[in-house]
Amino acid sequence: MGTLDGKAAIVSGSGRGIGQAIALKLAAEGASVVVNDLDAEPAQETVAAIESVGGTAVSCVGSVTDAEFGERFVQTAVDNFGGLDIIVNNAGYTWDSVIQKTTDDQWDAILDVHLKAPFRILRAAQPVISEAVKRARTTGVAVYTRKVVNISSLAGTGGNPGQANYSAAKAGVIGLTKTLAKEWGRYNVTVNTVAFGLIRTRLTASSADTGRTIEIAGKTVKVGVNPDVLTAAEQAIPLGRGGTPSDAAGAVYLFCIPESDYVTAQTLVCSGGLTM
């Protein structure tokens, strides 16, 4: 018996890295998971990994920034699993520049993926959750606690040089979280944020490595972190190391379990003790 048996979860950006670790963790605890990635291959790899250990998962491939994606993502859970219990808004990437060199395209792209996309997914989820709660109350069934976990960053809680767009988006996620916690409390939904510090993924690997780019909507975006900055950051972490995707998934999981049913509108910093 898993702590999340019978629950249906959607996790954006779960074909790789932190999102994949979150999907695997939720599935390992019994949740049925809708896996999302921009590309079909990594999404299917996560689905296959879940199914290989007896879990249940389906994929919903596409960009979270597409106007219709939120409805399609939510409906995939409803069609395949009969409802929606856990929402994890994780998808994202960085596109850094100091502010005088940040273009409108850079600003808009990062705000779209980190803030508008979660907004659209949550907006699409509201009618599904509201109807399920009304139906339960009409039939006299107790309304159980559903969970939303939005992903922010230390950049969103304290700012970060070269990341005006990312910091603004991740600060906005915290505001979105606090507002939805107040709006959705009547549905017995908790809405919380996990703010990550340095988590080691392909997006935070050393920029000294060759080929540190990703393709997003036809654009080639440089990723990676200056190796000197990486070294300094790890030296500043009280636990002495950067986090792993598994560490990150564990923090998200804490907000998905019954033991956190009376915790909402909170931001949990998962950084090994690093502060900005």
What's the CA gap between 28 and 30, in Å, rounded?
5
Q: Environment class of residue 53 by beta-carbon count within 10 Å: exposed (0-12), middle (13-18) or buried (19+)?
A: exposed
| Amino acid in position 211 | G
Cα–Cα dist 89/70, whole Å: 11
CB atoms near residue 140 (< 10 Å): 6
Residue type, 92: G
Specify whether the CB–CB gap between 272 and 243 falls below 8 A: yes
**Is 166 known to be catalytic?**
yes
Judge residue 102's burial from the number of C-beta atoms within 10 Å of its C-beta, 0-12 exposed, 13-18 middle, 19 or more buried.
Answer: middle
Q: Which of 22, 61, 21, 68 is nearest to 42 (CA)?
A: 61
- Catalytic residue chosen out of the listed positions 144, 166, 187, 253: 166
For residue 231, give Cα distances in angstroms to 37, 168, 213, 219, 224. 30, 25, 21, 29, 13
Active site residues: 166
